[in-house]
Structure 1
């Protein structure tokens, strides 16, 4: 059996990096694995080249996206018809003018992105001699890539998609074509219970199931790290507005009499301005040290956590799906303080492996919880560390999470195969 995986850049460096966690399991389960990386530009996909150079396994074949002006101009009639219906819905929906305009802009972009993805899928099947009736189509994202597999006309065995956050909640961001996608594909694997419940209720279906993303950890946790000085805080996120990393700076500014070292991992559009802000606010505080690491590959983050013995992980996002960064932290027995947004409460259990903050928390609230961890007795702190590891092992251990995910895909595929054989008889 084959699987064709659509990503927004993986396996190219710095793109869709968490896809790498499940590749070993896909390669074990399927005879051939094809990856079609379609990274969206402003309107057209980026022409990523030499994808096979980065392929993660000998079974994998990476397809370079190609298109001509003809591919751009000649739109599938079915896609155009769907887009017109969706545009009418966007215009007449109850929403702000800004939301309507954003919705229409997304429809416009998706027409071109989906059309080119479909043409590349067709070429991939033809050039590689892929038998559609023995092939699973899998979109890592529940957006134009999922629309592409929904519209793909070859009789593939199974169509599945993951769903995260940005491409899920209509109340947060326009979600074009979702009813059509849900109708046409076989299963949507949401990365949180909240996401699965949302899809099933919103689209009156039972096709959504929970499939947690997982992380790996092959390192021992130091049970005595609380004794080490200074108290080490870590955060890991893109430096973009939604992550609100300046709130960590503001909270640390309020803490006196405790030596703290804060490390941030990740880059982004606000990286330089965050460094300047921290310099302005924290440079005169002798008890606070900070370090901005910038981007680190996922494997380097894991190695870094293993050697640094961090005491606390902090997340201050105003919006989240189910953050892999927090899963990674708890796998090392690092307690967490995070905002209670999205599916975060599925990872952080208040009083067990950390504490949850209100979405619009005051800086004093975060500062107070940091001090609580610094001042708590060693035995109580160890309980939080062990709670973190226990929750990771039960729900977010990559080995069990991805084995279960692949098992579910194979079970669905084999079930459809058996139904097909019965129909033929």
Structure 2
């Protein structure tokens, strides 16, 4: 089960663990049906002057693991653009490409930095950081030394990335194209870099800069010192910012109350093979995530133990985690808590393997107990498969989990007993009520999380910005 790589200490305003909206890896190869669906996106440019190119700035995709949600979106992007070039911000020479790409997409790694410590870059570029036109330092040192230091750190890392991108840019084959869209997947270093490239290296050609925004890159309350650095600079760098949820949009609109370039564009997952859900005996619970502390897989284990103490017949399957040490630790802790209830830890599964498991296994309810989310893709996938969901109201989860309709929504600050109460309320539905809840889960996916619809509308919005 591939996990999303948490943004590194060099790029993340959040904790070293990072927070993500994804849960598991996806297959490296793209399906023929995905390509056919993507072909319905906006038409590509025609002729040399009309060629439409996209520079996509990620954290890691398509290298190593992480950002699995892009494995669906990339098909639609490549159907709309003549050339797509992908450059990850936090990887360099030696990273392994682990995902296949459509024929008109290619990827490249930034040249390695000679010095990995941001402090060196801050010293080297101190005049530019403190006196230059970029004005990334937004907090005076006398007002908050800590926040001043965070601004300096961000500026040093962004300027280092810009210097390395300048060296890489001539090899990307983008010079002769018409309109160029720079798309940062995160509202952080990549968005800042896009703005700098447009103002400097690409100032003589038509360029649009856009960014998605998720959770860690907008939630200042969850960031160190309650602060994400250089927000105004990053906001000025983009023509549009696309938060993936109303939750994320709320942070941006409160921070920039007059901004008119904030527009919600959701993530999505593909349709799942239809499977008639029913209340199994024992009631089969499934969860799907890596095992970083904020995912609170231990709370799920405690919930299963609580249900066992109440005499309820359940079983639990957890999908995810490719760190052997962390996986074995959770196995051992669960064995201490749970006596006779069947428990399965699958470890890492690819996206296609997860979809196949959902299609062939009688899972009755999906559990998510995270204390931090954007809008969880794992929940979208469960709903696509028609599963009722019991989840904490973390981040934007409540936008797709509607209490009493397609499952149960519980507070983030919750006990195992309270989660068990919510699970029991789904277990105790009669057949008709359970079938209606399952149908509502699938209907929520169709309305809010259908990848084909969400990504087609997103790409149409990108193309419309070209004017």
Which bracket does the TM-score occupy, shorter chain normalised? 0.7 to 0.9
Residue in structure 1 matched with residue 3 of structure 2 by the alignment: none
- 2: CA distance between counterparts of 1:125 and 1:84? 20
Gaps of 5+ in 1: 40-44, 95-99, 416-425
- 2: CA distance between counterparts of 1:82 and 1:239? 43
1:75 Cα offset (Å): 4.1
Q: Residue 410 of structure 2 contacts residue 422 of structure 2 at CA under 8 Å; is this kept in 1?
A: no
Quick one: which of 291, 294, 308 aligns to 1:239?
291
Establish whether residue 263 from structure 1 lines up as the match of residue 317 from structure 2.
yes
Residue in structure 1 matched with residue 262 of structure 2 by the alignment: 208
Q: Residue 300 of structure 2 contacts residue 369 of structure 2 at CA under 8 Å; is this kept in 1?
A: yes
Residue in structure 2 matched with residue 127 of structure 1 by the alignment: 171
Residue in structure 1 matched with residue 335 of structure 2 by the alignment: 279
Structure 1, residues 393-422: CA drift from partner, whole Å, max 9, x if none? 011000000000000000012x2xxxxxxx
Q: Residue 315 of structure 1 contacts residue 338 of structure 1 at CA under 8 Å; is this kept in 2?
A: yes
Structure 1, residues 122-166: CA drift from partner, whole Å, max 9, x if none? 344322341475110000011111111122222352000000001
Quick one: which of 203, 219, 223 aligns to 1:169?
219
Residue in structure 1 matched with residue 464 of structure 2 by the alignment: 411
Residue in structure 2 matched with residue 389 of structure 1 by the alignment: 442
Comparing 329-338 with 60-69, greater Cα deviation is found at: 60-69
Query: TM-score, normalised to structure 1's length?
Result: 0.86
Q: Residue 147 of structure 1 contacts residue 177 of structure 1 at CA under 8 Å; is this kept in 2?
A: no
Q: Residue 315 of structure 1 contacts residue 339 of structure 1 at CA under 8 Å; is this kept in 2?
A: yes
Q: How does 1:9-408 map to 2 (within 5 A)?
A: 9-39=60-90, 45-49=91-95, 51=97, 54-69=99-114, 75=125, 78-79=128-129, 81=131, 89=139, 91=141, 101=146, 103=147, 106-107=150-151, 109-131=153-175, 134-152=179-197, 153=200, 154-155=202-203, 156-173=206-223, 174-204=227-257, 205-223=259-277, 225-226=278-279, 228-255=280-307, 256-267=310-321, 270-282=326-338, 284=339, 286=340, 288-408=341-461
- 2: CA distance between counterparts of 1:157 and 1:85? 21
Tell me: CA distance 1:55–1:90, structure 2 relative to 1, closer, same or farther (3 Å): farther
1:83 Cα offset (Å): 11
| Aligned length in residues | 397
More helix by share: 1
Tell me: CA distance 1:403–1:216, structure 2 relative to 1, closer, same or farther (3 Å): same
Comparing 169-178 with 113-122, greater Cα deviation is found at: 113-122
Structure 1, residues 340-378: CA drift from partner, whole Å, max 9, x if none? 121111010111111111111122111112122222101
Q: Residue 67 of structure 1 contacts residue 116 of structure 1 at CA under 8 Å; is this kept in 2?
A: no
Tell me: CA distance 1:78–1:161, structure 2 relative to 1, closer, same or farther (3 Å): farther
1:54 Cα offset (Å): 4.0
Determine helix, strand or coil for the equivalent of 2:394.
Answer: coil
Tell me: CA distance 1:200–1:206, structure 2 relative to 1, closer, same or farther (3 Å): farther
Bigger relative contact order (CA 8 A; separation at least 6)? 2
- 1: CA distance between counterparts of 2:404 and 2:432? 14
Q: Residue 289 of structure 2 contacts residue 378 of structure 2 at CA under 8 Å; is this kept in 1?
A: yes
1:217 Cα offset (Å): 1.9
Gaps of 5+ in 2: 1-51
Q: Residue 406 of structure 2 contacts residue 438 of structure 2 at CA under 8 Å; is this kept in 1?
A: yes
- 2: CA distance between counterparts of 1:61 and 1:248? 40
Q: Residue 191 of structure 2 contacts residue 237 of structure 2 at CA under 8 Å; is this kept in 1?
A: no
Q: Residue 187 of structure 2 contacts residue 211 of structure 2 at CA under 8 Å; is this kept in 1?
A: yes
Q: Residue 92 of structure 2 contacts residue 109 of structure 2 at CA under 8 Å; is this kept in 1?
A: no
Comparing 391-400 with 196-205, greater Cα deviation is found at: 196-205
Tell me: CA distance 1:78–1:146, structure 2 relative to 1, closer, same or farther (3 Å): farther
Tell me: CA distance 1:273–1:105, structure 2 relative to 1, closer, same or farther (3 Å): farther
